[in-house]
Amino acid sequence: MKKFLFVLAGFLLISSSFTYAQKTYQSILSDPSKVNDGYIGLTYFGVDAGFGNTSGASVLSVGADVLYPINDKIKIDGIAWYSLFSLAKEGPAFLLNPGVEFTFKSNSKRQDVPVLLSFTTETDWFKGEQISAWSSVTLPGNMQTDYAARGGLYLRNSALEYEEGTTYYDITNLFHAGVYAGIGRSQKFYLHVQDSDGNIFAAGRFLRTYADVLILPTTVDLELSGTPTKEVSGTLGWRLGAVLQLVPFSKENNFDRKIGFLGNMIWRLEFGQRPLDGFFVTTGLSWGLKKL
């Protein structure tokens, strides 16, 4: 019995030591207004592909991803990408989406928000793969949510390789020209976090999501061996999208600490359906040149 009590006491002592040594965190300031409402991002890797027309995919696009606030209610939103490499080359391939968002409702509420503490990537040379690891903590903060009506132009130039049964038509140009209209939501928070050692750092997030209807009257004249054969067309499409800015605040609001390359990253992901392209995915990585 004494031996058992001795072992139990030792176990409790070790457990309490680990608990005491574990670092804890608390939020000491929460102010979403310190999040930058816009950015100018340089896209260095963009992909745009329709799964019903994979030959017309753009697999390496560069350009710009912009969210420019005119005032508290109106923002200019858009991307301008030029494809450096397309699977089927029929003229210059590009994607241009200039648009406007109008915020019609905003609210702020207290809730638990995720704070990223660390992120590391290591290469396992024996397995030939990269291993990513991260740690995070959930803390209370003020989350601001904005709802916006949105709309603009949708212009895309690519190629179309059309087949029907065993008939393969000549590769031709596919130009989507029309408009989009929908609704968007953005969520942002900003915290000052203090750990149990007394260290203070800033944390935040800016996440935008949206749903749009695409009105793209598209007509293509198909040919066989250079001879006009038939016409195909389509009009309506849709898309769901999200844009994440990892560190949406300036160096001044980061205690004058430098924000690294990954911290300035902007990630965009869209999927939906386009006429003659079928289901499509558009995704890109941009580097935040300027925060607005």
The string of pLDDT tens digits covering residues 193-251 is 988 888 898 988 899 999 999 999 999 998 887 778 888 999 999 999 999 998 899 88
Q: Average pLDDT in the 62-78 region? A: 96
In the chain, domain spans:
33-291
Q: Tell me: the pLDDT tens digits for 153-172?
A: 999 999 998 888 778 888 88
Contacts for 273 with CB less than 8 Å, ≥ 6 apart: 214, 237, 238, 239, 279, 280
What pLDDT, on the 0 to 100 scale, is given for residue 125?
62
Q: How confident is the model at residue 129 (pLDDT cuts 50, 70, 90)?
A: low
Q: Tell me: the pLDDT tens digits for 18-40?
A: 333 478 888 889 999 999 999 99
Q: pLDDT averaged over the chain?
A: 86
Q: From residue 46, give the alpha-carbon distance in Å to each of 9, 39, 61, 134, 150.
A: 59, 18, 4, 25, 23
Its pTM stands at 0.84
What pLDDT, on the 0 to 100 scale, is given for residue 230?
87
Residue 16 has pLDDT above 60, yes or no: no
- Give dist(CA 229, CA 146) in Å, integer: 50
Q: How confident is the model at residue 4 (pLDDT cuts 50, 70, 90)?
A: very low
